[in-house]
């Protein structure tokens, strides 16, 4: 099954969403042209290597802080990039609607930093650099999960040569995704320190940061604030204000 969209149209131009998608894509194009050794050094310099921070403590955070944000824009392959950006495109526009471009960009970076921190906490001995926007995008999904509980995700199921479309409530789709990440994250805790793979705890950290932190980034005045107050409240999370 493949998610292809949601049932809530965007109300404002998704300027930050498309800018962040373009930036991730542009960085990946640069990666494709880099020699393998140079690309490896790039990942270690700009990606989050947990052991660096857990072994050296506060000094490492002060001397080498940029991977927590810069690593968001690096990807290890086409599948990694496309899966992340496709999910971002589905859920990001509605979250940007209530934040605006600047706040949404800051929210995206905030979730990415929190995701990287969760990964360091869960895998303190790992010397494998963690890169990718999935933790930040998980934060966007967390915000969407709370703000749009009555939305649906449109799914495509290719039945042989016949495309079958159906809808699934967003809370179920994202909830099942979150449960899968949690189960996989618990299983990954027993893996060797230098094992690569999916950073499940980064996803969980970003998701939790988005669920809790989105309210600090929503617009306070103007039409975006009214959208949040008067329409998203109908989703059952916030009571409609008179």
Task: Judge whether residue 189 has pLDDT over 80.
Answer: no
Give the pLDDT band of residue 192 (cuts 50, 70, 90).
low
Give the pLDDT band of residue 194 (cuts 50, 70, 90).
low
DSSP the chain: -EEEEES---SS--HHHHHHHHHHHHHHHHHHTS-HHHHHHHHHHHSB-HHHHHHHTHHHHHHS-THHHHGGG--SSHHHHHHHHHHHHHHHHHHHHTT-HHHHHHHHHHHHHHHHHHHHHH-TT--SPB--SHHHHHHHHHHHHHH-TT-EEEEEEEETTEEEEEEEEHHHHHHHHHHHHHHHHHHHTTS-TT--S--HHHHHHHHHHHHHHGGGTS-SSHHHHHIIIIIGGGGTSSPPP-
Task: Judge whether residue 7 has pLDDT over 80.
Answer: yes
Walk me through the domains of the chain, giving residue ranges and CATH numbers: 2-235 (1.20.1540.10)
Predicted pLDDT of residue 196: 58
pLDDT per residue as tens digits for the range 9-43? 889 999 999 999 999 999 999 999 999 999 999 99
Predicted pLDDT of residue 98: 94
Predicted pLDDT of residue 237: 41
CA–CA dist 122, 124 (Å, integer): 6
Predicted pLDDT of residue 241: 38
How many angstroms separate the most distant Cα atoms in the chain? Answer: 61
pLDDT per residue as tens digits for the range 195-240? 556 788 999 999 999 999 999 999 998 999 988 887 665 553 444 3
Predicted pLDDT of residue 163: 85
CA distances from 22 to 4, 81, 188, 208 (A): 19, 11, 32, 26
Report yes or no: 206 and 138 within 8 Å, Cβ to Cβ.
yes
| Residue with more model confidence, 193 or 50 | 50
pLDDT per residue as tens digits for the range 119-175? 999 988 888 999 999 999 999 999 999 998 889 999 998 877 888 888 999 999 999
pLDDT per residue as tens digits for the range 65-110? 889 999 999 999 999 999 999 999 999 999 999 999 999 999 999 9
C-alpha closest to that of 42 among 114, 125, 131, 108? 131
Give the pLDDT band of residue 191 (cuts 50, 70, 90).
low
């Amino acid at each position: 099954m493949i998610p292809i969209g949601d049932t809530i149209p965007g109300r404002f131009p998704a300027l930050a969403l498309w800018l962040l998608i373009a930036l991730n894509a542009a960085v990946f194009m640069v990666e494709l042209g880099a020699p393998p050794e140079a690309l490896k050094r790039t990942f270690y310099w700009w990606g989050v290597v947990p052991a660096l921070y857990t072994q050296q403590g506060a000094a490492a955070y002060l001397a080498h802080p940029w991977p927590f944000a810069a690593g968001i824009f690096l990807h290890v392959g086409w599948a990694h990039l496309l899966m992340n950006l496709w999910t971002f495109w589905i859920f990001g526009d509605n979250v940007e609607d209530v934040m605006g471009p600047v706040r949404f960009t800051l929210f995206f970076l905030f979730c990415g930093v929190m995701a990287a921190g969760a990964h360091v906490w869960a895998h303190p001995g790992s010397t494998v650099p963690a890169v990718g926007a999935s933790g930040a995008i998980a934060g966007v999904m967390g915000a969407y999960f709370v703000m749009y509980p009555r939305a649906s995700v449109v799914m495509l199921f290719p039945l042989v040569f016949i495309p079958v479309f159906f809808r699934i409530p967003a809370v179920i789709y994202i909830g099942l995704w979150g449960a899968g990440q949690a189960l996989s994250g618990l299983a990954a805790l027993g893996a060797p320190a230098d094992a690569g793979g999916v950073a499940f705890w980064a996803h969980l950290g970003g998701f939790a940061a988005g669920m809790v932190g989105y309210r600090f980034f929503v617009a306070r005045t103007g039409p975006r604030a009214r959208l949040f107050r008067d329409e998203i409240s109908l989703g059952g999370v916030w009571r409609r204000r008179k």
